[in-house]
Amino acid sequence: MQRCPCCALPVTNALVCGACLRNPPAFDATIVAADYQAPIDQLVLALKFGAALPLAALLGNLLEEAMLTAMPERSNWPDLLAPVPLGPQRLIERGYNQALEIARPLARSLTLPLLPDLLVRVRDTQAQAAMPARQRQQNMRAAFVVPAQSMASVTGRHVGLIDDVMTTGATLHELASTLKRCGARRVTNLVFARTLPG
């Protein structure tokens, strides 16, 4: 299946999907390991809501395979990895950040630095599962910052953002915008699963 290099949606006979042509995202590329559909969706749900933390290593390994296929040359790899941060309240409720749990084995295997606190979610946003795309973008606006102590890690660097699922890309777009404003040279999303247009 051919995918848009920006958002990883399936495309046919096109270099970039129509949505990315109309509204180019702040991120430069997206690599996914799988489509978010059965039975893959059950793995994600078990990790995200069922505390099945051992699954994080499996998801990380599958994401590594996808990245090595898409970026066989190490010179194209991100300089460092950062998980999509959870808000303080959601982290308390869940007890862990599933993106960080996926990022740990991935960073270890690729021997890339993992900076869990590179980005901070400065406000708890509403859950986005039932929101339309435009509302998701508004929900994410100004939700993230790069703390002062992390600025030097961002400037001129290629950052790999790790997440479990990409739906509209609103969260990853806002994170990439934040990183680019702070001087990141490039942002690549490394996402385990991508929802398909329905």
DSSP 150: G
Give residue 2's pLDDT.
Answer: 87
Give residue 89's pLDDT.
Answer: 87
CA-closest candidate to residue 144, choices 197, 85, 97: 85
CA 151 to CA 110: how far, in whole Å?
23
Give residue 56's pLDDT.
Answer: 97
Give residue 77's pLDDT.
Answer: 98
Give residue 134's pLDDT.
Answer: 59
**32-70: b or e for each residue (b if 16 or more CB lie within 10 Å)?**
bbbbbeeebeebbeebbeeebeebbbebbebbbebbeeb
CA-closest candidate to residue 136, choices 166, 171, 164: 171
> pLDDT per position in the chain (198 positions), as tens?
789 999 999 998 778 999 899 999 999 999 999 999 999 999 999 999 999 999 999 999 999 999 999 999 999 999 999 999 998 888 999 999 999 999 999 999 999 999 999 999 987 665 655 545 555 555 556 789 999 999 999 999 999 999 999 999 999 999 999 999 999 999 999 999 999 887
Domains of the chain are 25-194 (3.40.50.2020)
Give residue 197's pLDDT.
Answer: 81
CA 175 to CA 187: how far, in whole Å?
9
CA 114 to CA 137: how far, in whole Å?
27
